[in-house]
Structure 1
Amino acid sequence: MSDTTTPEQLADDAVVVDVREQDEWDAGHAPGAIHIPLGELPARLDELPEADERDPLPIICRSGNRSGKAVAWLTQQGFDAANVEGGMKQWAFAGKPVVTDSGADPQVI
């Protein structure tokens, strides 16, 4: 069983890996997020940040399904990763900041 975390347990500026598609990222993402779509993850492992020694690397998507798959795969590869329960929907619901690169009003789609 892989680790999980919740948006409420993470800092507003936490480094999270966002595995959503480009249009979802463009609409709104966590300020400290690194965007690596799920399908690109195997080819972009070198872009993952170093996990904190105490805490697994948080992985997020829209609702938790894709990030759960990513966490399971990353765990098999030897990474210490945690699925962010509820994904970006829960992140926004919890009042966490959501930003866009374009300056448009952020939303979770």
Structure 2
Amino acid sequence: MIPTVTVPEVAEGTHLLDVREPEEWAGGHAPDAQHVPMGELPTRLAEVPTDQDVVVVCRSGVRSAHVVHFLIDHGWRNVANLEGGMQQWAAAGRPMVSDGGGPASVL
């Protein structure tokens, strides 16, 4: 079973790992999230913190669930999937920014 958290359970200061593609990220993301596209993760594992809780997010929660499983298989114990992904993040009114400075949206 993949550990999951809901948007209200994500505390301020939690490390968010956004695994969406660059164009999705550019459209809108959490202000302090770390961007590592899913396909790049195997070569960028050292960038994922091991000393704090990590919540992995994608658009809807499917890709991020795969990433959580991958991280657990590689020794992480402090990871969880964001249920509903950025769609739920946006629906809950949590802060978002876009790379272009315009209105942020979930692509």
In the superposition, the TM-score normalised over structure 2's length comes to 0.92
CA RMSD of aligned residues (A): 1.3
Q: State the number of aligned residues.
A: 106
1:100 to 92, 95, 98: 98
Tell me, what secondary structure is at the counterpart of 1:58? strand
What does 1:10-25 align with in structure 2 at a 5 Å threshold?
10-12=10-12, 14-25=14-25
Distance across 2 between alignment mates of 1:51 and 1:99: 26
Preserved contact between residue 14 and residue 54 of structure 2 (Cα < 8 Å): no
| Identical pairs, percent | 47
Which residue is equivalent to 2:57?
A: 60
Preserved contact between residue 67 and residue 84 of structure 1 (Cα < 8 Å): yes
Which letter does structure 1 place at the counterpart of 2:101?
A: G
Which residue is equivalent to 1:73?
A: 70
In the superposition, the TM-score normalised over structure 1's length comes to 0.90
Unaligned runs of 5+ residues in structure 1 are: none
Which letter does structure 1 place at the counterpart of 2:61?
A: G
Distance across 2 between alignment mates of 1:98 and 1:33: 10
Which letter does structure 2 place at the counterpart of 1:92?
A: A
Tell me, what secondary structure is at the counterpart of 2:30? coil
**Are 2:38 and 1:38 aligned?**
yes
Q: Note the C-alpha offset of 1:77.
A: 0.3
